[in-house]
Chain A
Amino acid sequence: MLKAMEPRPVEQPESEEELIGRAREGDSRAFDRIVQTHLGVVWRVVWRILRHREDTEDVVQEVFITAYKALAGYRGECRLSTWLHRIAVTRSLNHLRSRGEVLRRASRPLEVATELTLAAPDGIEGHTPLLALEAKELLQKLASCLEQLPAIWRAAVTLRDGEEMSYEEMADVLGVAVGTVRSRLARARVALRECVRGVSR
């Protein structure tokens, strides 16, 4: 509190630690700053998993409200962003689960990943080398296939390739071992690729 009274150079933002400390004491403005800092990333992570604007809005709100309530338990053992990602991913997956998305499919062993019955996007018959696809076309097919991917695979793939997280960070966020991240990513990617190529069916 004392610190807050002191004049502070405008250009020198408070450290995250400071903000967390103040937010923990109930300073909602400090938490607001945290929200503003992390909103963009949390939004992206949630959207990439949900791929639905309104749902993302709801879940992002829940993420920050959960974080605010749980801030007392955050002991700085991981970066705040990682902690928020963790909440974001969990909330997103639970949101989908509540809507009946079958996460269970992701438990298929790698061997059958290619048999995953993702419908190939329209207009793809047989194997199409990705090389042969126009960039725009590839993105369209990718979007369609990502939507069909089991959510926890989608989460893995987008955290890695969209958010460029390290395997270790992903393990932390997803609550799994690094080895699991590795195998899950492989399964997800192979299934995604087969879908984009139009292999399934």
Chain B
Amino acid sequence: MKQETNPHPHELLSAFSDQVATPEEAARLQEHLRDCAECRQLLHDLTALATAIGEEAVPAPPPQLAARIRQRIEAGSPPRTTPMAASFWRSPFPPALAATLLMATTLFLIWRREHVVPTPAGIQAPPASVPVAKSETGPVSDKPAGPPPPPSREKPDIAMNEGLDRNLENLGYIGKGTERSTPEEDSPAAAGEAPAARGFAPAPTAARQDASLGGHVTGEPSPSPEEESQSRDYLDVITASGLTGEAYKKAMEKKAPAEVPKAKDNRTSAPALSDGVSAGMVEESLPLVSAEEARSLAYEGPGFSATFSEDGLVTLVARGYACSVTVPPSQAAPDGARARSIDDLAGLFRTASSREFLATGSTREDAPTAKPAAPATSNLALRNAQGDPIHSVPFNEPLSQESPQVLRTLSQGIHSLIFQRYRKELESRCGPLPATLHSAP
């Protein structure tokens, strides 16, 4: 088809110069070259350029780079197989300390319940603009390369593969070989499948039970409305990936945020967790989340990356700064008003488990032609204790009024957790937050 508009077989020439043209193609090209001086020149030039590119000098990496990488890794990014949480409980802290922490927290919770000081409902919103100094998280996206794409591509183009980076990361670079994960893998439809497929280990039994009680079995993409309420039970348990069975469901019902809007469609609602139960029902402290059950929420933005693990590990990585600290574990929201704000890890995870968040980012167009121009500068990913993604949302910062409310809430919450709530812990452990970071949000 290129030949129709371009008389010169550029693609063939290029392939030929790489010695990857088929014999038939080579023969065809030879025939063309015989009569086309321009292409003969081009072939020569392509070869000369290839050689020149191969000879181009590349500066050497700075000698201390490997050491810097090591430092950053040691500063708080354990590999995902040993979930952050698990390694936290396992190695540096002996069980006795864990028990002490548990007791201290329990005491604290009791104290807190008796001394609830009302605070303003909202969190001080950080300034909206985030300098786009540096972001590696925005997914690469582009229109399909080349002439009108054939109806079926073997693999999505990296350029159009919205969220490849995200996929690579959130899917833990799961070995797909050449079959690159598609954007849909992040979509709720796929996420609905994920729990069963990827084995959200902590709750399989409960899941099966619920399924056998009438919920549909594995993540069917589009449950009918009447199925939805049943499937929700199942999904609650699955997606929670933490507590098992009834205990978890009860807990979740209690910590569900108020006024969670109905998901736009069944597909998007599939992995939803919370069910819009009034936050006024929240009245008890949630049980501490154990290391094996702790989910994590990873934020990657232009200014910094932060990972919050449900059992209290907070990791902040910014330019020239990396810090991992443990903070007091989850507490239940003391009242309805505060349930909408995020002022601790529990609040953060409550919002990240909400139907609102789990339904966000799911309306990505399937057709590459409908792609908006905006690239994503940031990403939020909720993962289970095994590090498998539950839901991941790429988005752009600074957030605007058009941005989904839940993203604004989460973004503000994350900034407020880092710069206010847990700042003391971070700074006492790793020194003052970098000056550039202060103004970042």
Residues of A within 8 A of B (CB): 23-26, 28, 31-32, 35-36, 39-40, 43-44, 47-48, 53, 56-62, 64-78, 83, 86-87, 89-91, 93-95, 97-100, 103-104, 106-107, 109-111, 113, 129-131, 135, 138-139, 142-143, 146, 152, 157-158, 160-162, 164, 167-168, 171-172, 174-180, 182-187, 189-190, 192-193, 196-197
- Give min CB distance, A179 to chain B, whole Å: 8
Contact A197 B45 (CB under 8 A): yes
Partner of A98, one of B20, B41, B45, B136: B136
Tell me whether A98 and B375 are in contact in the complex, defined as CB-CB below 8 angstroms, given that A71-B80, A130-B48 are known contacts.
yes
Rounded to whole Å, the gap between the CB of B52 and the closest CB of chain A is: 5
The residue from A23, A28, A75, A142 contacting B56, defined by CB atoms under 8 A apart: A142
Q: Which residues of B contact A138 (CB under 8 A)?
A: 48, 52
A68 to B75, CA, bound (A): 13
- Least CB distance from A97 to B in Å reads 5
- Does B138 reach chain A (CB closer than 8 Å)? yes
The chain B residue sitting closest to A24, CB to CB, is B81
In the complex, which of the residues A59, A172, A186 contacts B10, with contact meaning CB atoms closer than 8 Å? A186
Which applies to chain A's interface (DSSP): helix, strand, loop or mixed?
helix
Known: A177-B153, A182-B15. A107 touches B49 (CB 8 A): no
Bound-complex Cα distance A180 to B377 (A): 26
Is B74 on the interface with A (CB-CB < 8 A)? Answer: yes
Contact (Cβ within 8 A) B81 A25: yes
A177: B residues at CB distance < 8 A: 153-155, 157
Q: List residues of chain A with CB within 8 A of the CB of B53.
A: 142, 146, 157-158, 161-162
With most chain A CB atoms within 10 A of its CB, the pick from B56, B138, B146 is: B146
* A164 contact set on B, CB distance < 8 A: 54
> Which of B144, B180, B377 is most buried by chain A, counting CB atoms within 10 A of its CB?
B180
Of all chain B residues, the one with the shortest Cβ separation from A48 is B58
Interface string of B144-159 (1 = CB under 8 A from A): 1111100001111111
* B164 interface neighbour in A175, A183, A184, Cβ under 8 Å: A175
Whether A39 and B142, one on each chain, are in contact in the complex, defined by CB atoms closer than 8 angstroms, is no
Instruction: Report B-chain residues with C-beta under 8 Å of the C-beta of A98.
Output: 132, 134-136, 138, 302, 375, 377
Q: Does B78 contact A (CB under 8 A)?
A: yes
Contacts of B146 in A (CB 8 A): 107, 109-110, 180, 183-184, 187
Cα A94 to Cα B164 in complex, Å, equals: 10
B59–A47 CB distance below 8 A: yes
> When the two chains form the complex, which single residue of B18, B41, B82, B147 contacts A129, counting CB atoms closer than 8 Å?
B41
Asked, given contacts A167-B20, A175-B161, A183-B146, whether A130 binds B174 with beta carbons under 8 Å apart, the answer is no
| Chain A residues with CB under 8 A of B78 | 26
Residues of A within 8 Å of B79, CB to CB, are 23-26, 31, 68-69, 71-72
B11 within 8 A of A: yes
Q: Is the CB of B140 within 8 A of A93?
A: yes
- Alpha-carbon separation in the docked complex, A129 to B41 (Å): 8
B178 and A172 contact, CB distance less than 8 A:
yes
Q: 17 more A-B contacts (CB under 8 A) besides A43-B65, A95-B136? A: A23-B79, A57-B65, A65-B73, A87-B173, A94-B137, A94-B138, A103-B140, A107-B143, A109-B146, A139-B52, A175-B157, A176-B157, A176-B180, A180-B145, A187-B146, A189-B46, A192-B49
**Could you write out 7 A-B pairs with CB less than 8 Å apart?**
A69-B77, A86-B173, A90-B140, A110-B6, A130-B44, A175-B156, A185-B14
Q: Report A-chain residues with C-beta under 8 Å of the C-beta of B240.
A: none
In Å, the complex CA distance between A98 and B30 comes to 44
Q: Tell whether A76 pairs with B175 under 8 Å between CB atoms, given A175-B155, A183-B145, A197-B45.
A: yes
The contact of B2 among A87, A99, A110, by CB within 8 Å, is A110
Decide: B136 and A130 in contact? CB cutoff 8 A: no
Q: Cβ of B69 and Cβ of A65 under 8 Å apart?
A: yes
Name B77's contact: one of A68, A72, A77 (CB within 8 Å).
A68
Nearest CB in chain B: distance from A3 CB, A: 18
Nearest CB of chain A from residue B98's CB, rounded to whole Å: 18
Chain A residues contacting B157 (CB-CB under 8 Å) are 175-177, 180
Contact between B56 and A139, CB atoms less than 8 A apart:
yes
**A95-B20 in contact (CB<8A):** no
Contact B136 A161 (CB under 8 A): no
B81 touching A94, Cβ below 8 Å: no
**Which of A74, A89, A182 contacts B173, CB < 8 Å?**
A74
Among A95, A97, A187: residue with most chain B CB under 10 A:
A97
Residues of the B chain whose Cβ atoms lie less than 8 Å from the Cβ of A56? 61
Q: Is B139 an interface residue (CB 8 A)?
A: yes
Task: Name the interface residues of B344-358: CB closer than 8 Å to any CB of A.
Answer: none
Instruction: Give B207-238 interface residues, CB cut-off 8 Å to A.
Output: none
**Nearest-CB residue, chain B, relative to A113:** B10
Contact with A along B102-136 (1 / 0, CB 8 A): 00000000000000000000000000000010111
**A152 CB, min distance to chain B CBs, angstroms:** 5
Q: CB of B165 within 8 A of chain A?
A: yes
